[in-house]
A = this chain, B = another copy of it.
């Protein structure tokens, strides 16, 4: 709590206090109380885990989308069980996270009765990381895979103009005796939030990250953000993964494709109106009751082979630190958040 004069003095804020502050902001900009709590827990959780490109850095984008009416913060999702295993969710132009929460009971029922839930969500705005969606399933011994599409800002391999969103995919599995194994990655070379962090810091992007508005390679984050686009990771193979995510999340759900997003009059809105496909599987139905032990065996082998760390490990370390000492945040940012919550302008 020292250093009031330093512009970027970092302090540590209690996680629940941060969550509560963010919930106030969401409420003030027109979300329902339950949606405010869900988004706040998600956003504060990203900040806590060090996933800062999906943390409070996103608040202005959320606020702009809410203020302009681009997203409906009070949407009540429509949940339809189309089969014992298949759940169709219309988020009704609301956020994806409350839609997922609203489907929780249906998902549990499907997994319990058939060992699998296919959750096809459309008309949903997903503006956060994907790991918060899948990690809870792994904590309960389930396997979860999720695909989300977004705003068209990734060029297909060999192409010159954007078609795909950064189209993240995530998967989570239980690990015997350890935290769940959680992978969450954009299919672009870099996540869009990271490009924006580069733009804020005025630092160049690594070569191969993206193209400018003419489709030519560029390392300028501003050029990539202003009419340019990112590349898919891993050449044509990564581009194919982006294609799969686009079709699963945007088409199979009955949602929008990334290139169909059009903000129209909603100037400043940032959240993508897209879709999400979530697959939850109970591994006990798969033929090995010791699934989590098998995952642990594989994880050990990866470290034996020289892999530096397991996916998600850094997040868990940040989380443990934040739970002990608070979430690190600059006083300046905290000041702005408090102003947003108080003024609502």
Using CB atoms and an 8 Å cutoff, list the residues of chain A in contact with chain B: 82-86, 88, 90, 113-116, 118, 120, 122, 143, 145, 155-163, 171, 173, 181, 183, 185, 187, 215, 233-235, 237-241, 243-244, 246-248, 250-255, 257, 259, 279, 281, 283, 285-288, 291, 294-295, 297-298, 301-302, 304-308, 311
Contacts and interface: CB of A to CB of B under 8 A. Distances in A.
B82 A115 contact: yes
Contact of A114 (B114, B238, B257, B287): B114
Given A237-B234, A241-B241, A285 B161 contact: no
Nearest to A186: B237
Contacts of A254: 286-288
A133 B132 CA distance: 33
B286 A253 contact: yes
Given A86-B116, A161-B304, A171-B247, 5 more contacts: A86-B115, A88-B286, A120-B287, A233-B234, A247-B298
A95 to B, nearest CB: 18
A90 B235 contact: no
Nearest to A173: B247
29 contacts: A82-B115, A83-B85, A83-B116, A84-B84, A84-B114, A85-B115, A86-B116, A86-B285, A116-B116, A116-B118, A118-B281, A120-B286, A156-B305, A157-B307, A158-B308, A160-B305, A161-B305, A161-B306, A181-B243, A183-B240, A234-B234, A238-B238, A239-B307, A247-B295, A250-B298, A254-B288, A255-B287, A257-B294, A257-B297
Contacts of A185: 237, 240
Nearest to A110: B85
B85 A288 contact: no
Contact of A235 (B114, B234, B306): B234
Nearest to A240: B183
A161 B303 CA distance: 10
Residue among A83, A113, A122, A162 with most chain B CB within 10 A? A83
